[in-house]
C-alpha cells in the first residue's frame, strides 16, 4: 500500500496495549522541543494523580526525519479535586486534554484513553511503525492509516489516527462541513487545534456517544443521513418522523463531503462512508477476525482468503464488536 501515500503521514492505534495499566488513563503527548515538556508536567502533577511517566520508546529510522519528543503518562483523577457538580472523570480528562492542546506551547495530546494508544508521525506507515517499535506491543485491535495530505499541512500532529478518550478515527477524504462542525462542537467545550478536519470527527463522537448517550445506531444517521427526498419517500410514518427529527436537531453534526472513516473503540470498530460513497470502503471476515480497509488488496495482504468480503453500501455502517465474554 506504499503507493497510496506520499510519506507525509502514517499512524496506528492499538487497543489492549497496556493491560498492566488498564485502569489508568494513558496520555501520549508530543512535544515540539524537550524544554516544552516541563511546563506540561508541572500542570499534570497538579491535575492528575500520576502513577508512571516515561519517554515512549523509539529508534532511529530511515525515512523518518527530525521527530518531536514523545512521552506517556499513566494516571487517574485525584479523588478530592474540586470539580463542577456532576462532572465525570472522563469530562475532567477532556478538560485536561483541551487545556494542554490550547494553552501549552508546542505540546499536543496524541491520545488519552485507557489501555490504548496512538503512534503517528510524518513518514510512511511502515517507517512510523518501525520508529515507534510497534513490534514490541500486542493488541486485540489495530487501526492503521497512510496519509496523503491535500488541504491541510503535513505535520506530526496532523497524521491519523485522531483520538480522544477511548475513541479513535482514521479518515479518507475531506469535510466540506468542517466549519459548521467545528463551531458546533466548540459550543460544548471542545477546541479544534490540530489543523485538520479529521479532528472534529472525534469530538462529535465523544459528544454524541459519551456525553449525550445516544445509541450507536443513531450515529451513522447523524453523520451520513438520507437526503431529504429519500426521507419524504419513506413509507413508515414513524421512521420518517425519526429521520426528520435527527436531521433537524443534529444538522450541524452532518459530515458533508467525500469521506470514509473507521471509528475505533474498546469493543471494536465501525466503518462508514458518505451518503453517495465518494470514498471507498471494503469489509471482510475470516473466522473470528474482522477487517476494514479502503481497498481489497490491503485486506488480502494480511488475509489472502477471507471467508467473506463485501463493499458496504453508501452511508451504511459496518459494525464489528468483540465477543461479550472477552475480558478487556
Residues 6+ apart with CB under 8 A from 289: 303
- Answer whether residue 81 shows pLDDT above 60: yes
* Mean per-residue pLDDT, 77-88: 92
pLDDT at 227: 96
Going from the N-terminus, what domains does the chain have, and what CATH number goes with each? 2-321 (3.60.20.10)
- Answer whether residue 327 shows pLDDT above 70: no
- Answer whether residue 235 shows pLDDT above 90: yes
pLDDT at 325: 47
* Mean per-residue pLDDT, 213-224: 96
Share above pLDDT 90 across residues of the chain, in percent, rounded to a whole number? 94
* Mean per-residue pLDDT, 208-220: 97
Residues 6+ apart with CB under 8 A from 242: none
Backbone angles phi, psi at 83, to 5 degrees: -145, 155
* Mean per-residue pLDDT, 184-200: 96
Q: What is the largest CA-CA distance in the chain?
A: 62
User: Mean pLDDT over all residues of the chain?
Assistant: 96
For the chain, first and last CA: distance in Å?
31
Instruction: Give whole-number Cα distances, 81 to 46, 144, 210, 282, in Å.
Output: 9, 37, 22, 46
pTM: 0.96
- Answer whether residue 121 shows pLDDT above 70: yes
pLDDT in tens, 152-183: 889 999 999 999 999 999 999 999 999 999 99
Q: Place 324 in a pLDDT band, splitting at 50, 70 and 90.
A: low
- Answer whether residue 309 shows pLDDT above 80: yes
pLDDT in tens, 259-279: 999 999 999 999 999 999 999
Angle in degrees, CA 321, 257, 95, rounded to 5: 60
- Answer whether residue 89 shows pLDDT above 80: yes
Q: How far apart (Å, rounded) are the C-alpha atoms in residues 126 and 148?
A: 15
* Mean per-residue pLDDT, 7-24: 97
Q: How far apart (Å, rounded) are the C-alpha atoms in residues 23 and 12?
A: 22
pLDDT at 87: 96
Amino acid at each position: 500500500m506504499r503507493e497510496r501515500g506520499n510519506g507525509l503521514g502514517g499512524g496506528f492505534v492499538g487497543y489492549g496495549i497496556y493491560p498492566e495499566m488498564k485502569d489508568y488513563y494513558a496520555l501520549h503527548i508530543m512535544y515540539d522541543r524537550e524544554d516544552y515538556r516541563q511546563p506540561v508536567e508541572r500542570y499534570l502533577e497538579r491535575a492528575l494523580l500520576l502513577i508512571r511517566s516515561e519517554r515512549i520508546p523509539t529508534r532511529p529510522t530511515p525515512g523518518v526525519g527530525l521527530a518531536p519528543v514523545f512521552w506517556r503518562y499513566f494516571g487517574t483523577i485525584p479523588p478530592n479535586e474540586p470539580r463542577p457538580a456532576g462532572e465525570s472523570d472522563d469530562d475532567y480528562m477532556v478538560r485536561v486534554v483541551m487545556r494542554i492542546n490550547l494553552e501549552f506551547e508546542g505540546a499536543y495530546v496524541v491520545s488519552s484513553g485507557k489501555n490504548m494508544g496512538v503512534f503517528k508521525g510524518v513518514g510512511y506507515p511502515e517507517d512510523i511503525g518501525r520508529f515507534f517499535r510497534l513490534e514490541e506491543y500486542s493488541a486485540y485491535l489495530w487501526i492503521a492509516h497512510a496519509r496523503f495530505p491535500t488541504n491541510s499541512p503535513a505535520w506530526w500532529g496532523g497524521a491519523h489516527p485522531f483520538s480522544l478518550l477511548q475513541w479513535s478515527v482514521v479518515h479518507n477524504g475531506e469535510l466540506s462541513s468542517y466549519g459548521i462542525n467545528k463551531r458546533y462542537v466548540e459550543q460544548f467545550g471542545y477546541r479544534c487545534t490540530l489543523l485538520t478536519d479529521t479532528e472534529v470527527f472525534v469530538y462529535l463522537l465523544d459528544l454524541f456517544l459519551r456525553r449525550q448517550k445516544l445509541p450507536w445506531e443513531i450515529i451513522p444517521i447523524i453523520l451520513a443521513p438520507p437526503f431529504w427526498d429519500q426521507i419524504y419517500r419513506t413509507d413508515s410514518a414513524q421512521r420518517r418522523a425519526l429521520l426528520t427529527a435527527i436531521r433537524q436537531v443534529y444538522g450541524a453534526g452532518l459530515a458533508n463531503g467525500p469521506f470514509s472513516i473507521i471509528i475505533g473503540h474498546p469493543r471494536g470498530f465501525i466503518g462508514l462512508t458518505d451518503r453517495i460513497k465518494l470514498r471507498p470502503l471494503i469489509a471482510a471476515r475470516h473466522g473470528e477476525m474482522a477487517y476494514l480497509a479502503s481497498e481489497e488488496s490491503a485486506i488480502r495482504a494480511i488475509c489472502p482468503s477471507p471467508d467473506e468480503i463485501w463493499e458496504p453500501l453508501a452511508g451504511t455502517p459496518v459494525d464489528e464488536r468483540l465477543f461479550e465474554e472477552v475480558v478487556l
